């Protein structure tokens, strides 16, 4: 079997500039494997769901959030990384100024799931380092050199792109090493699934309402097929499912105060997801623009995020660009409406 270390060793011979990226991915994987041990222990590791501090999203910073940040930060201090931007940090952290790389990181996605024995994960983005911390990160997503997510579920998975394709690794708990199990993943196009938090339906913008109405209409509606809905409340879990089975994920901005631009962060959540989607033949958008074309104005900027199979995401973009009449003034699935058939 090919371990991540073997995989990175083969890849790095393609150019001198690859060695720092390979070393940084190895450091991130080391921290992820250590965190996996804590996740597996659950309550036997202590009260990891304890709220220990306030957080920007109002849910509270959990003990496992803090531990995850510590593990990743410690690992990256030994890597060629000049700057670290993290969901858990207010400002850029200088690690090794003068090193060639910068890392943007969400060390623990889905911490609300800790007590529920449900899925959690991490997301990371590797960028070229600039002279200052913020200058390294306030750049378009297409500047990423590599990106990945870690999923803690029935097994611990690493989804990785080094810029060309997307490969899947599984953590072998017997050795603590990630092992390659699938190369060149492509997002399937025909899966009839969508993921969205339906409890917020009354707040959604019209294009999102229109798309979900198409899905809900099922075989008798304009799409001509029945759909299933999935929602895990952990974006990396939905990402992994879509990579292997297809479908679409939607987290729009909505009418609630504080949700106008969605809740996911552009830099360290949407950027790595968008690069993975792009390299796997999918698409990620804010509804109007490809995520990879956007540049954050600050480290913790939020964005609406829709990603998944290209045909489905293209339909959502089409609805955003359409001249949709206000709610209540348009025919639902009428012949003159905005809806049309599609899979």
**Residue extents of the structural domains in the chain:** 4-182, 193-321
pLDDT at 328 > cutoff 70: no
The pLDDT, as a whole number, for residue 329 is 35
Do residues 109 and 234 lie in contact, with contact meaning Cβ atoms separated by under 8 Å? Answer: yes
Q: What is the pLDDT of residues 103-114, one digit of tens each?
A: 999 999 987 777
Q: What is the mean pLDDT of residues 292-302?
A: 97
Task: Please tell me the distance from the alpha carbon of residue 100 to that of residue 136, in angstroms, as a whole number.
Answer: 10
Strands 101-109 and 120-128 turn out to be antiparallel
Q: What is the pLDDT of residues 140-159, one digit of tens each?
A: 999 999 999 999 999 999 99
Please state, for a pLDDT cut of 70, what percent of the chain lies above it.
92
Task: Please tell me the distance from the alpha carbon of residue 183 to that of residue 267, in angstroms, as a whole number.
Answer: 26
Pick from 319, 330, 273, 256: nearest CA to 109 = 273
Task: Please tell me the distance from the alpha carbon of residue 161 to that of residue 280, in angstroms, as a whole number.
Answer: 9
Banded model confidence at residue 323, pLDDT cuts 50, 70, 90? low
The pLDDT, as a whole number, for residue 41 is 85
pLDDT at 94 > cutoff 50: yes
pLDDT at 342 > cutoff 50: no
The pLDDT, as a whole number, for residue 57 is 65
**Residue 149 phi, psi dihedral angles, 5° rounding:** -135, 150
Fold for domain 4-182? Fructose-1,6-Bisphosphatase; Chain A, domain 1 (3.30.540)
pTM of the model: 0.92
Banded model confidence at residue 209, pLDDT cuts 50, 70, 90? very high
Domain 193-321 has CATH 3.40.50.300: no
Task: Please tell me the distance from the alpha carbon of residue 133 to that of residue 94, in angstroms, as a whole number.
Answer: 7
């Amino acid at each position: 079997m090919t371990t991540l270390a073997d995989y990175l060793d083969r890849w790095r011979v393609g150019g001198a500039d690859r060695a720092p990226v390979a070393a940084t991915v190895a450091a991130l994987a080391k921290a992820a494997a250590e965190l996996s041990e804590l996740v597996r222990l659950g309550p036997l590791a202590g009260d990891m769901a304890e709220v220990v501090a306030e957080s920007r999203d109002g849910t509270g910073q959990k003990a496992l959030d803090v531990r995850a940040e510590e593990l990743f930060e410690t690992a990256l201090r030994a890597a060629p990384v000049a700057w670290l931007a993290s969901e858990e940090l207010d400002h850029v952290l200088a690690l090794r100024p003068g090193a060639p790389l910068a890392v943007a990181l969400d060390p623990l996605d889905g911490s609300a799931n800790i007590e529920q024995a449900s899925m959690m994960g991490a997301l990371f983005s590797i960028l070229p380092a600039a002279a200052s911390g913020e200058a390294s990160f306030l750049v378009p997503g297409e500047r990423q050199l590599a990106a990945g997510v870690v999923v803690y579920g029935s097994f611990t998975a690493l989804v990785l792109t080094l810029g060309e394709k997307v490969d899947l690794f599984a953590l072998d708990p017997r050795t603590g090493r990630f092992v390659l199990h699938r190369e060149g993943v492509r997002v399937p196009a025909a899966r009839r699934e969508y993921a969205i938090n339906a409890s917020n339906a009354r707040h959604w913008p019209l294009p999102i309402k229109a798309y979900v109405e198409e899905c809900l209409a099922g075989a008798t509606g304009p799409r001509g097929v029945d759909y299933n809905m999935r929602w895990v409340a952990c974006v990396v879990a939905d990402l992994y499912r879509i990579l292997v089975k297809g479908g679409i994920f939607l987290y729009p901005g909505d009418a609630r105060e504080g949700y106008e631009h969605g809740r996911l962060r552009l830099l360290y959540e949407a950027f790595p997801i968008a690069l993975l989607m792009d390299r796997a033949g999918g698409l990620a958008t804010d509804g109007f623009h490809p995520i990879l074309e956007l540049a954050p104005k600050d480290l913790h900027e939020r964005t609406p995020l829709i990603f998944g199979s290209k045909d489905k995401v293209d339909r959502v973009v089409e609805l955003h660009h359409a001249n949709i009449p206000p709610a209540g003034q348009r025919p639902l699935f009428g012949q003159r409406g905005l809806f049309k058939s599609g899979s």
